Amino acid sequence: MYDDNITLLGVKKDIDETKQGEVLYFDQPTDGLKKFYIESYGCAMNFSDSEIVASILGGAGYGPTRDMESADLILVNTCSIREKAEENIRQRLSIFNKLKRQKPEVLIGVLGCMAERLKAKLLEQEKLVDIVVGPDAYRDLPNLLAKADEGDKGINVLLSREETYADISPLRLDSNGVIAYISIMRGCDNMCSFCVVPYTRGRERSRDAYSIVAEAKDLFDRGFREVTLLGQNVDSYKWSSPDDTEHVNFAQLLERVALVHPDLRIRFSTSHPKDITNDVLHTIAKYENICDYIHLPVQSGNSRILSLMNRTYDREWYMERVKAINEIIPDCAISADIITGFCTETEEEHQDTLSIIKWSRFSMSYMFYYSERPGTPAAKKLQDDVPEEIKKRRLQEVVDCQRLVSLEHNLADVGKVFKVLVEGDSKKSDQDFKGRNSQNKMINFPKVDGVKPGDYVMVEVTVANAGTLKGKVVN
């Protein structure tokens, strides 16, 4: 679930990793406050983190701006999942530094995964920034900013086994007030050989279940109608009360959030094939307001490659989980992450990935070719021996395959009627609304009197392509 495009906070981009996304502007009184400007890269977790950062900065006397040139503080919340993301961030830092030469008093900071990975290099060797703050150190921002104001460089990239930011109310930066993200856990214990996340975000720790439910209730009371529960691996959520008398797993947490209100729609991301249980699937099936959509990264369709990736499941296990989803939640849509050209991958193994896309009937996928990340087990132990041109060719074949499967998936919806949550104006026309159905498919439809963002409407699908659906409101 990654996007190399920029999410501006103070300018907020709709999180839709398959497209550029509509820009929605966030306005808040900033009279008498210093101004901060944030750009966020990568996954929805990064966007959620930036809302936490915005809240912390608000308590330190800063207000948001969408005008970079007027900012006293420029922050970039970074992603290290792929080399391209880091290249984009370095390009942005060079632009920020041009502004700093004209306005020396402005402070520049790097947050998030890239901050943790590169640490002092950004401060001392490249001299691109004034502060570097890792994902578990955002509470220290006011202290680091005070030091930077006095001319000292600030760095805190310490990882924590306890930090969940459960007591911080995120500053919601989506002006449509319909959709919000709730972080339920942080870190990851899955040591996939290609992934930097365990090294940049630390070990898994789960938030207090009561704080999550309280946040969902608050959002609903404020008019939000959809929440996405976020974690690197939500299925491994587990929380115990301090006296050890209460234990909550992910299926039980899903139920608690679903019971907040029938009109509060629940999504979650991301699931892991080795951890998603039938209890979770039965909970989804039980509650109409838990969406019939599961993002279940497969990464490869070949068991040998999955073993090299240390995914801890094989092709047969993944297929069994897909079968269980289809049996327990017949209308569920499944999407995936896919990596092509992993170390030693052969043409035959690549064909296994194409075949599992067709067999699983993914509604959509996030598709990438393998990018070796320094410090990961794959970088240390495996040879990145698939030439880039072959990686790109295989990626294009995967994209083409998924496009056909997505088209077939969407064409099957023509004539069906779905309950759709209205999110706002369509990108292409202010005469149309856009909204998603339970299966996470975007549907565009003409506006009707009396309907506004945040409302649920029944929409009949009339036209479909590989990316979106079009329809009309029906009674």
What is the 3-state secondary structure of 317-339?
HHHHHHHHHHHHCCCCEEEEEEE
pLDDT digits (tens, 9 = 90+) for 420-450: 999 999 999 999 999 999 999 999 999 999 9
Residue 285's CB: how many other CB atoms inside 10 A?
17
Encode pLDDT of 111-146 as tens digits: 988 887 777 677 765 578 899 999 999 999 999 999
The DSSP letter of residue 194 is: T
Q: Is the pLDDT of residue 6 over 80?
A: no
Residue whose token pair is 């959809």: 226
Provide mean pLDDT across the span 328-350: 98
- 23 vs 209, higher pLDDT: 209
Backbone region of residue 401 per phi and psi (left: phi > 0; alpha: psi in -120 to 50; beta: other values): alpha
Neighbours of 355 (CB within 10 A): 14
Sheet holding 226-230, edge to edge: 179-183, 226-230, 265-269
CB–CB of 49/77 below 8 Å? yes
Of 279, 265, 201, the closest CA to residue 233 belongs to: 201
| Diameter over CA atoms, the chain | 64
Lookup: tokens for 145: 């900013």
Retrieve residue 50's tokens: 């930036």
State the Cα angle at 205 between 278 and 207, rounded to 5°: 80
Contact 1, 17 (CB under 8 A): yes
Cα–Cα distance measured from residue 266 to residue 164, given in angstroms and rounded to the nearest whole number: 21
Q: Which residues contact 389 (CB under 8 A, 6 or more apart)?
A: none
Give yes or no for a contact between 181 and 230, defined as CB atoms under 8 angstroms apart. yes
Under 8 Å between Cβ of 200 and 79: no
pTM greater than 0.85 (yes/no): yes
Q: What is the pLDDT of residue 23?
A: 26
CA distance 316 to 300: 12
The DSSP secondary-structure symbol of 350 reads: H
| Average confidence (pLDDT) over 399-417 | 98
3-state secondary structure 284-311: HHHCCCECCEEECCCECCCHHHHHHCCC
* Confidence at residue 13, expressed as pLDDT on a 0 to 100 scale: 34
Q: What are the tens digits of pLDDT across the range 279-308?
A: 999 999 999 999 999 999 999 999 999 999
> What digits encode the pLDDT tens for the residues 30-81?
566 899 999 988 888 888 999 999 999 999 999 998 889 999 999 999 887 7
Domain architecture of the chain: domains with CATH: 7-156 (3.40.50.12160), 179-359 (3.80.30.20), 417-474 (2.40.50.140)
- Contacting residues for 160 by C-beta, under 8 A, at least 6 apart: 136, 202, 205
Report the share of the chain in percent with pLDDT over 70. 92
Position 125 scores a pLDDT of: 56
pLDDT at 201: 87
CA triplet 458, 270, 132: central angle to 5 degrees?
120
Residue 375: CA count within 13 A, CB half-sphere: 13
pLDDT tens per residue across span 207-234: 999 999 999 999 999 999 999 999 999 9
Q: CA–CA separation, 312 vs 301, rounded Å?
A: 13
* CA-to-CA dists, residue 132 to 105, 108, 140, 143, 424, angstroms: 17, 9, 11, 12, 36
Sign, Cα dihedral of 56, 36, 85, 20: positive
Structure tokens at 55: 């809240």
Structure tokens, 379: 């970088």
Q: Which of 188-202, 258-272, 336-350 has the lowest mean pLDDT?
A: 188-202
Percentage of the residues of the chain whose pLDDT score is greater than 90? 73
The partner residues of 239 in beta bridges, in order of sequence, read 248
Tokens of 327: 């049996």
Listed in sequence order, the residues at least 6 apart from 83 whose beta carbon sits closer than 8 Å to its beta carbon are 371, 372, 373
| Average confidence score pLDDT of the chain | 90
The DSSP H or E segment spanning 78 is strand 73-78
No. of H helices and E strands in the chain? 14, 24
Predicted local confidence at residue 30, as pLDDT: 55
Do residues 182 and 215 make contact, with C-beta atoms less than 8 angstroms apart?
yes
Amino acid (1-letter code) at residue 398: V
Q: What angle (nearest 5°) sits at the alpha carbon of residue 268, between those of residues 443 and 460?
A: 20
